[in-house]
């Protein structure tokens, strides 16, 4: 480039489409690298500058932008433009240097001519322009001939990029049965070409696959429904292919495609329907409440919330016996037992079940109704049920003085089955470990088996069992709560040992002690005790008792002048009576010591002074006495030891069997003929025994078991049931620690003399030892060795040890 002079501005651009401008010899030379024309105002400015050039400073560099097409595919370097200084006279003295972005790598310059070439393939999408600096140097001296200046090389776009869907593939959802034109999704394609130059980046959309169901807006890329009444249940998934083409869709434009996967979402447009109009079910009568009987299902082609069901029982005779619930996971109706069933009361039920959609859409109501009904028949099956108690709980109150064997309650149970089997009653012994009660096995009469004591156990909670005779595995149970009522069977007594003192200087009427009492009974009206002196001390001259009427009493002195030397301790018997029926009383003893007191009444000493012996023993005399006592004690022990170890000679007869020396009986019971031990007639006829004379008593020994009849009332002994009598006898036998090892209640038919059965005694059953041999005991093993030695044949003298 040549300049005719320097302008005021060192860098002045003359036009956008020009490569460079040369001023010389009043002539303008222009090199055009693009089709952009020079504006008129710029040309007028150039002309004006030329006319006034002799008035301005000469300008060294005048620059414009260089333009070069991208994607050059030739083999030679691409010519970009030419740099020229007005100081260059063409003799090669000027050297051009290029620096900046891409200098020497992308762009090169001929240092002599100033021609600029591109040596690499250019891509506007990678870089749209380069900023470079040019400088002219003196080739010989290297001195800058012109100041360094910048210029720009812009890359001109061509249509070399197809549109691309950066967000594809797309996924979209649209409700089924949507109206035509419903927007589904918008797709967007991007073209990397220059949108400001030509139509390279102008994109037009079209649909290649998905018709006639969907359409796409050619300018915006919005996909819409194109077909009405698209049913999800018929077809749910659609694959739509969209094309984007540049150059405005003209021939020769580049195109890109993307896939849009469209799913029809469900709406509630299908009513539920029962595939079965009749269901047949069965349930055991023993099924517990809330147990499952069966399931019903109404089919709905919709899904999700639109397929949710609500099942209800709308009619039938089983609405009060059964219930139905909806399973939220599988949308089935679960029929359950609402109350206990009974085959004997009702054998079958009928239900009318309705299944309905709870979520409805108003625009689809014309496709309904959105509910359906079905009929369910339920048969109750019979099972062998355990006995049932009526009522289901028993509460019994019984006084603690009730006699043994008294019936306190009748427990009743029955077999609920049609067969109505017999019932047998018993008590769960884990609930009555003390065995205080007994239940009749057939009648269910609950009786006392032991004396009750409210002070020991005021409540009893027992379980009575009822078992079917034909099926012992069927057992029913009922709880029985027994409250033991209080009776006045405990006399009041002192809660502790009372000990008081009286001063020697005490005056008459002085309080020396306040006493109280306790009673284990618990009357309804509360305790009230009465205090008085015992009858044997009613005229006691020393002390008296004053009842305070608040369950306490005061002990007062009747006189003064007590002396320890005369009497140091007084024992005052006090009678304590309660207010119960009958009145019970006890006598407590108050121990009163006579003490020496000061003037203020404080005790100084309560023990009488010891009298000193007039003559004291010396130490030697005391030692002699102890020595004599020790010698006597040794002699006594020696005599006792000699008597214990004294042995008398014992001679064994060879012919005498040893077992005759081991077992000797001096007395044999009289058997049934011995009426001294007890009167057997009492067991044959209790009435005659009770009404007769006094029972005989054994003369040779005292009876160890007394008659038990006194514990049992006469009415109990002669009643039709003997349970109370047996229970009373059993209890007394259990409580008697000295009873002999035989049961006095077992009786046998009286044999008497001349009985064909003969005597049952083994004594004198053989006349001699030789009549029976026991040698076979030696063959029975070690367990019978001792018997073999005792009863076997004697082979010689047997040693004693």
Measured between alpha carbons, how far is 150 from 65 in angstroms, rounded to an integer?
10
Q: What is the mean pLDDT of residues 778-794?
A: 70
Q: Is the pLDDT of residue 245 over 70?
A: yes
Measured between alpha carbons, how far is 8 from 518 in angstroms, rounded to an integer?
135
pLDDT of residue 51: 44
pLDDT of residue 761: 52
Percent of the chain with pLDDT over 90: 36
Q: What is the mean pLDDT of residues 384-391?
A: 88
User: What secondary structure letter does DSSP report for 288?
Assistant: P
Q: Is the preceding omega at residue 369 within 30 degrees of 0, hence cis?
A: yes
Q: Is the pLDDT of residue 608 over 50?
A: yes
Measured between alpha carbons, how far is 485 from 397 in angstroms, rounded to an integer?
7
The model's confidence at residue 495, banded by pLDDT at 50, 70 and 90, is very high
Q: Is the pLDDT of residue 24 over 60?
A: no
Q: Is the pLDDT of residue 180 over 60?
A: yes
By CB atoms closer than 10 A (0-12, 13-18, 19+), residue 499 is exposed
For the CA atoms of the chain, what is the radius of gyration?
A: 66
Among left, alpha and beta (phi > 0; psi -120 to 50; other), residue 498 is beta
pLDDT of residue 217: 93
Measured between alpha carbons, how far is 558 from 544 in angstroms, rounded to an integer?
6
Measured between alpha carbons, how far is 711 from 726 in angstroms, rounded to an integer?
11
The model's confidence at residue 667, banded by pLDDT at 50, 70 and 90, is low
Backbone angles phi, psi at 417, to 5 degrees: -75, 165
CB 387 within 8 A of CB 466: yes
399 vs 196, which has greater pLDDT?
399
Give the contacts of 252 (CB within 8 A, at least 6 positions apart): none
193 vs 395, which has greater pLDDT?
395
Give the contacts of 344 (CB within 8 A, at least 6 positions apart): 382, 416, 417, 418
Q: What is the 3-state secondary structure (H, E, C) of 349-405?
A: EEEEEEEECCCCCHHHHHHCCCEEEEEEEEEEECCCCCCEECCCEEEEEEECCCCCC
**H or E element that contains 45:** helix 40-51
Q: How many helices and strands in the chain, by DSSP H and E?
A: 8, 40
Q: Is the pLDDT of residue 613 over 50?
A: no
Q: What is the mean pLDDT of residues 507-513?
A: 90
800 vs 119, which has greater pLDDT?
119
Q: Is the pLDDT of residue 360 over 70?
A: yes
Question: pLDDT tens digit string along 670-695?
Answer: 555 555 555 544 544 444 444 444 44
Give the contacts of 518 (CB within 8 A, at least 6 positions apart): 492, 493, 494, 495
Question: pLDDT tens digit string along 61-82?
Answer: 445 578 887 777 778 888 888 8
pLDDT of residue 406: 92
CA distances from 796 to 303, 657, 709 (A): 109, 11, 57
**Mean pLDDT of the chain, nearest integer:** 78
Q: What is the mean pLDDT of residues 766-795?
A: 65
pLDDT of residue 666: 56
Question: Please, what is the end-to-end C-alpha distance for the chain in angstroms?
Answer: 156
DSSP characters over 419-445: T---EEEEE-TTT-TT--EEE-TTT-E
User: What secondary structure letter does DSSP report for 58?
Assistant: P
Q: Is the pLDDT of residue 643 over 90?
A: no
pLDDT of residue 6: 28
The model's confidence at residue 418, banded by pLDDT at 50, 70 and 90, is confident
Measured between alpha carbons, how far is 285 from 274 in angstroms, rounded to an integer?
28
**H or E element that contains 789:** helix 785-791
Q: What is the mean pLDDT of residues 234-246?
A: 93
Give the contacts of 722 (CB within 8 A, at least 6 positions apart): none
Q: Is the pLDDT of residue 736 over 90?
A: no
The model's confidence at residue 252, banded by pLDDT at 50, 70 and 90, is confident
Task: State whether the Cα torsion 402-405-411-412 is positive or negative.
Answer: negative
Among left, alpha and beta (phi > 0; psi -120 to 50; other), residue 90 is left
The model's confidence at residue 730, banded by pLDDT at 50, 70 and 90, is confident
Measured between alpha carbons, how far is 493 from 529 in angstroms, rounded to an integer?
10
pLDDT of residue 728: 77
Measured between alpha carbons, how far is 709 from 687 in angstroms, rounded to an integer?
11
pLDDT of residue 669: 54
pLDDT of residue 577: 93
Q: Is the pLDDT of residue 4 over 60?
A: no
Q: What is the 3-state secondary structure (H, E, C) of 688-757?
A: HHHHCCCCCCCCCCCCCCCCCHHHCCHHHHCCCCCHHHHHHHHHHHHHCCCCCCCCCCCCCCCCCCCCCC
Q: Which of 504-518, 763-777, 781-795 has the highest mean predicted lDDT (pLDDT)?
A: 504-518
Q: What is the mean pLDDT of residues 747-767?
A: 51
Q: Which of 53-57, 121-125, 281-285, 414-418 has the highest mean predicted lDDT (pLDDT)?
A: 281-285
Q: What is the mean pLDDT of residues 531-549?
A: 91
Measured between alpha carbons, how far is 134 from 80 in angstroms, rounded to an integer?
14
Q: Is the pLDDT of residue 277 over 90?
A: yes
The model's confidence at residue 323, banded by pLDDT at 50, 70 and 90, is very high
**H or E element that contains 79:** strand 78-82
pLDDT of residue 651: 47
Q: What is the 3-state secondary structure (H, E, C) of 2-21?
A: CCCECCCCCCCCCCCCEEEE
pLDDT of residue 646: 65
Strand order in the sheet with 170-175: 170-175, 255-265, 237-245, 204-209
pLDDT of residue 684: 47
Backbone angles phi, psi at 713, to 5 degrees: -65, 155
Measured between alpha carbons, how far is 185 from 690 in angstroms, rounded to an integer?
114
361 vs 617, which has greater pLDDT?
361
Percent of the chain with pLDDT over 70: 75
Q: What is the mean pLDDT of residues 300-318?
A: 92
CB half-sphere exposure, 650, CA atoms < 13 A = 8
Q: What is the mean pLDDT of residues 722-741?
A: 72
Question: pLDDT tens digit string along 157-172?
Answer: 777 788 999 998 999 9
pTM exceeds 0.85: no
By CB atoms closer than 10 A (0-12, 13-18, 19+), residue 380 is buried
pLDDT of residue 781: 73
């Amino acid at each position: 480039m040549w300049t005719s002079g320097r302008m005021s501005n060192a860098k002045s651009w003359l036009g956008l489409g020009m490569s460079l401008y040369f001023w010389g010899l009043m002539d303008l030379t222009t090199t055009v690298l693009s089709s952009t024309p020079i504006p008129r105002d710029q040309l007028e400015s150039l002309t004006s500058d030329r006319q006034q050039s002799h008035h301005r400073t000469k300008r060294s560099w005048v620059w414009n932008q260089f333009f070069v097409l991208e994607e050059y595919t030739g083999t030679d370097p691409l010519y970009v433009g030419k740099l020229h200084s007005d100081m260059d006279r063409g003799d090669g003295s000027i050297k051009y240097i290029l620096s900046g972005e891409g200098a020497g790598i992308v762009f090169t310059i001929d240092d002599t001519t100033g021609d600029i070439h591109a040596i690499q393939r250019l891509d506007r999408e990678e870089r749209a322009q380069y900023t470079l600096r040019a400088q002219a140097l003196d080739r010989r001296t290297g001195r800058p001939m012109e100041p360094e200046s910048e210029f720009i090389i812009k890359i001109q776009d061509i249509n070399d990029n197809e549109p691309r869907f950066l967000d594809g593939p797309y996924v979209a959802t649209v409700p089924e049965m949507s109206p035509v034109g419903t927007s589904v999704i918008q797709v967007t394609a991007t073209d990397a070409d220059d949108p400001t130059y030509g139509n390279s980046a102008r994109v037009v959309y079209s649909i290649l696959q998905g018709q006639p169901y969907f359409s796409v807006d050619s300018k915006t890329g919005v996909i819409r429904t194109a077909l009405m009444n698209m049913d999800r249940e018929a077809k749910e998934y659609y694959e739509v292919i969209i094309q984007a083409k540049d150059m405005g869709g003209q021939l020769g434009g580049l195109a890109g495609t993307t896939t849009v996967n469209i799913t029809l979402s469900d709406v509630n447009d299908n009513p539920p329907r029962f595939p079965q109009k009749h269901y047949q079910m069965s349930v055991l009568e023993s099924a517990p409440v809330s147990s499952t009987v069966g399931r019903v299902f109404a089919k709905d082609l919709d899904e999700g919330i639109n397929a949710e069901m609500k099942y209800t029982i709308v009619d039938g005779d089983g609405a009060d016996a059964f219930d139905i619930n909806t399973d939220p996971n599988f949308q089935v109706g679960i029929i359950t037992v609402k109350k206990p069933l009974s085959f004997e009361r009702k054998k079958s039920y009928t239900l009318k079940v309705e299944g309905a959609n709870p979520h409805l859409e108003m625009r689809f109501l014309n496709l309904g109704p959105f509910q359906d009904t079905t009929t369910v028949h339920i048969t109750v099956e019979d099972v062998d049920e355990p006995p049932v108690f009526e009522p289901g709980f028993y509460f019994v109150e019984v006084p603690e003085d009730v006699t043994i064997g008294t019936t306190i309650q009748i427990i009743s149970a029955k077999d609920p089955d049609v067969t109505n089997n017999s019932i047998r009653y018993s008590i769960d012994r884990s609930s009555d470990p003390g065995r205080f009660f007994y239940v009749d096995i057939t009648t269910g009469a609950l009786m006392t088996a032991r004396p009750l004591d409210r002070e020991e156990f005021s409540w009893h909670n027992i379980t009575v069992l009822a078992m079917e005779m034909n099926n012992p595995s069927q057992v029913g149970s009922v709880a029985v709560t027994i409250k033991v009522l209080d009776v006045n069977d405990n006399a009041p007594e002192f809660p502790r040992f009372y000990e008081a003192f009286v001063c020697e200087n005490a005056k008459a009427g002085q309080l020396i002690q306040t006493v109280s009492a306790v009673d284990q009974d618990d009357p309804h009206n509360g305790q009230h005790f009465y205090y008085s002196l015992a009858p044997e001390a009613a005229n006691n001259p020393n002390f008296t008792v004053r009842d305070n009427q608040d369950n306490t009493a005061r002990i007062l002195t009747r006189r003064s002048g007590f002396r320890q030397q005369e009497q140091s301790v007084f024992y005052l018997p006090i009678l304590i009576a309660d207010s119960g029926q009958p009145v019970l009383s006890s006598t407590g003893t108050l121990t009163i010591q006579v003490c020496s007191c000061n003037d203020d009444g404080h005790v100084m000493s309560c023990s009488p002074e010891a009298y000193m012996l007039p003559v004291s023993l010396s130490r030697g005399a005391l030692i002699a006495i102890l020595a004599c006592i020790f010698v006597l004690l040794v002699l006594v022990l020696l005599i006792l030891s000699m008597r214990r170890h004294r042995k008398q000679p014992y001679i064994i007869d060879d012919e005498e069997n040893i077992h005759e020396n081991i077992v000797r009986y001096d007395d044999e019971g009289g058997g049934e003929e011995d009426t001294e031990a007890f009167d057997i007639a009492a067991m044959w006829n209790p009435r005659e025994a009770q009404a007769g004379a006094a029972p005989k008593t054994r003369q040779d020994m005292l009876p160890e078991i007394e008659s038990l009849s006194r514990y049992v009332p006469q009415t109990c002994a002669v009643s039709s049931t003997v349970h109370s009598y047996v229970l009373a006898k059993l209890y007394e036998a259990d409580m008697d620690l000295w009873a002999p090892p035989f049961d006095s209640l077992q009786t046998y038919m009286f044999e008497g003399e001349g009985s064909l059965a003969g005597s049952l005694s083994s004594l004198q059953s053989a006349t001699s030892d030789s009549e029976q041999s026991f040698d076979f005991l030696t063959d029975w093993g070690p367990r019978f060795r001792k018997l073999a030695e005792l009863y076997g044949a004697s082979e010689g003298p047997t040693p004693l040890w």
